[in-house]
């Protein structure tokens, strides 16, 4: 049975995440402590006993989800036998580490650089995102294209009937009004910036410098990357795709479709939450999707 391991992105965090791994396994505890040292503050204190507000800070959220996902994959040991991996936005970094395309420490440093660059970009240019439901992708794309004088683009193709748009506050507001006119639903998201849009270009440039200094290796299985939704194993190609990720859309629907086409029979979500399982079942109602289990 071909197994696809998938890794969640921002929004999956919850207070207490990872504490069972820390308390129950020395290897996991050591990895968390290594992360505390690299980050420069005890992120574990915020993960295990902080507040939801603490965890919403981008500089905390992204490393926290990455740590929960990658340490859970390490905890699984020899039972972690992926035929393919993929991750949603931030989750792509977790997937690449789990598939040994880069080291845990290098992956964490990139996630820290990514979070800090995105935070700066959000503070310099206030912007936002909104989820659009009940409309097909083409209709939403056309609505975005019809907005002039503002930036608004399709950012996350999550599953059929669910697409996230991203851009300037005014651009997203105008698009949301047109979504309602088209009989769709528009839900503003509580995010600090226009992720996966051209407004993230300064963050992309900053992260790109860190990516170029990072060593990438041949992964143990194909990695389905956000910008192309295709399986990639060449380290140079992985790096090139990662360089484009912050300003390109997350093609999650196509990723799941391509994994299914390539023989995926079981999807295992590694990390906090169950959001990806819901999306996968919206792509294929018969898909076998579940969370990784901690024994």
Residues tagged active-site: 89, 196
Q: What residues form DSSP beta bridges with 224?
A: 86, 231
Distance CA 60, CA 231 (A): 30
Q: What residues form DSSP beta bridges with 260?
A: none
Q: Count other Cβ atoms within 10 Å, centred on residue 290.
A: 12
Count of alpha carbons within 13 angstroms of residue 31, beta-carbon side: 28
Within the chain, residue ranges assigned H as helices are 19-24, 26-39, 43-49, 52-56, 58-76, 91-98, 104-124, 137-146, 169-181, 201-212, 235-244, 252-261, 275-283
Read off the tokens for 56: 């919403």
Angle, CA 269 vertex, CA 56 and CA 41 arms, to 5°: 35
> Strands 231-232, 223-224: parallel, antiparallel or unpaired by DSSP?
antiparallel
Run of H or E residues at 291? strand 289-291
- Cβ 179 vs Cβ 185: under 8 Å: yes
Closest by Cα among 202, 19, 263, 224 to 101 = 224
Count of alpha carbons within 13 angstroms of residue 123, beta-carbon side: 9
Angle, CA 291 vertex, CA 98 and CA 242 arms, to 5°: 35
């Amino acid at each position: 049975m071909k197994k696809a391991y998938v890794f969640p992105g921002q929004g999956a965090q919850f207070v207490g995440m990872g504490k069972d791994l820390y308390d129950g396994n020395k290897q996991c505890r050591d990895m968390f402590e290594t992360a505390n040292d690299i980050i420069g503050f005890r992120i574990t204190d915020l993960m295990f006993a902080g507040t939801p507000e603490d965890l919403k800070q981008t500089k905390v959220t992204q490393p926290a989800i990455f740590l929960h996902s990658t340490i859970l994959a390490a905890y699984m040991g020899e039972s972690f036998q992926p035929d393919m991996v993929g991750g949603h936005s931030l989750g792509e970094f977790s997937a690449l580490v789990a598939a040994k395309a880069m080291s845990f420490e290098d992956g964490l440093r990139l996630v820290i650089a990514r979070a800090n660059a995105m935070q700066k970009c959000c503070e310099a240019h206030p912007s936002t995102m909104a989820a659009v439901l009940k409309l097909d992708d083409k209709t939403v794309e056309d609505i975005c294209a019809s907005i002039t004088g503002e930036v608004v683009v399709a950012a996350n193709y999550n599953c059929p009937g669910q697409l996230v748009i991203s851009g300037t506050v005014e651009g997203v507001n105008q698009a949301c009004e047109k979504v309602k006119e088209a009989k769709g639903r528009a839900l503003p998201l509580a995010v600090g910036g226009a992720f996966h849009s051209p407004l993230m270009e300064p963050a992309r440039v900053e992260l790109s410098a860190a990516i170029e200094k990072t060593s990438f290796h041949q992964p143990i299985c194909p990695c389905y990357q956000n910008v192309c939704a295709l399986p990639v194993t060449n380290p140079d190609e992985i790096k090139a795709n990662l360089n484009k990720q912050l300003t390109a859309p997350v093609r999650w629907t196509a990723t799941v479709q391509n994994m299914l086409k390539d023989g995926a029979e079981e999807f295992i979500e590694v990390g906090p939450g169950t959001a990806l399982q819901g999306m996968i079942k919206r792509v294929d109602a018969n898909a076998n999707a579940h969370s990784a289990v901690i024994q």
